[in-house]
Amino acid sequence: MAIPKAQYVSDVWKDGLFASKVVFCTGGSGSICSAQVRALVHLGADACIVGRNPKKAEEKAQSIATARPGARVLGIGNVDVRHVDSLHSAVATCVKELRRIDFVIAGAAGNFLAPIRSLSANAFKAVIDIDLLGSYNTVKATLPHLIASSKEGAGGGRFVFVSANMFQTGLVLQTHVGAAKSAVNALSNNMAIELGPLGITSNVIAPGPIGDTEGMDRLTPASDANTASATKIPLGRMGSVRDIADATVYLFSDAANYVNGDVLIVDGGAWRTGGGAPGHTVPYPDFLLSSDEVSAAKVEGRKGKL
């Protein structure tokens, strides 16, 4: 299904900006990452999106391809970023079909709400494995192709990791995610140092609360998702997937040729006030001192526990 351009990319970018480029994206079936890829495809790129659900990946790829006549978008399922072999297979398919990879978006992630007292070691490890190990595996599988792209000297060879703004302050009920995303930031920083001499850039986009996304719908009470959540955000609104997509276009464009090892926070200033984030509606510290369960999210049939 075609989506109006205004919902996923601004008019400031020129058509054909990414002609002949190919982007590989993990988590590409999700609300945010699919918008990032859709924007790049609209501006000339072809793409591979990968995920665990084949049907969802294929359907999302077909939808993204409507962003530009003649676009080629592959949806590759049965890919678990925790297993590097499945990523290598997906990368091989992408290169076979589209001939190259110039840009990588590492966006696969897991999240749920849980206080640390009921957060099991397995639950903590699951998020670390998906967010951090998955990002590392994505780098290992795609790096040779980004090195080749960078050597061509035509603006390729760029990594973008999707993190979260909570690394600045921490966030109640998000210990596991904060630890994982902070480590992803560190991974990107070290890549910037080691891969910069090869002409490769590595940067992070740290979204704040983004409205009308699967994540916010799952983690925030429906009555609060787009109203009270925005009251503490300095710009007075929830973010949109277009805000994140525009930041991605910037980092992959020639305008960001000298941007490397950066964390670009895209949250309307929310991290400075704690506005809008998952878990922010929980009374603090009263909730943590009680035996109440988290009611905003269901995890494997139980509220707030794993």
The pLDDT value recorded for residue 46 is: 98
Radius of gyration of the chain (CA): 19
pTM for the structure as a whole? 0.90
- Among the listed residues 86, 135, 149, 163, the single catalytic one is 163
* Domains with residue ranges and CATH for the chain: 14-303 (3.40.50.720)
Tokens of 61: 């790829």
How do 302-303 and 22-26 pair as beta strands? unpaired
Query: pLDDT tens across 78-93, in order?
Result: 999 999 999 999 999 9
Contact 74, 96 (CB under 8 A): no
Contact 278, 174 (CB under 8 A): yes
The pLDDT value recorded for residue 220 is: 60
Of residues 123, 21, 121, 141, the one with CA closest to residue 80? 141
Mean residue pLDDT across the chain? 89
Active site residue 295: no
CA dist 37 and 215 (Å) reads: 18
pLDDT(143) > 60:
yes
pLDDT(48) > 60:
yes
The pLDDT value recorded for residue 232 is: 82
Confidence class of residue 304 from pLDDT cuts 50, 70 and 90?
Answer: very low
Contact 54, 28 (CB under 8 A): no
Query: pLDDT tens across 109-136, in order?
Result: 998 989 998 899 999 999 999 999 999 9
Confidence class of residue 272 from pLDDT cuts 50, 70 and 90?
Answer: confident
The pLDDT value recorded for residue 275 is: 73
Active site residue 240: no
Contact 193, 261 (CB under 8 A): yes
Per-residue pLDDT averaged across 185-209, rounded? Answer: 97
- Among the listed residues 181, 188, 229, 305, the single catalytic one is 181
pLDDT(225) > 70:
no
| Omega within 30 of 0 (cis) for the link into 285 | yes
pLDDT(101) > 70:
yes
The pLDDT value recorded for residue 2 is: 85
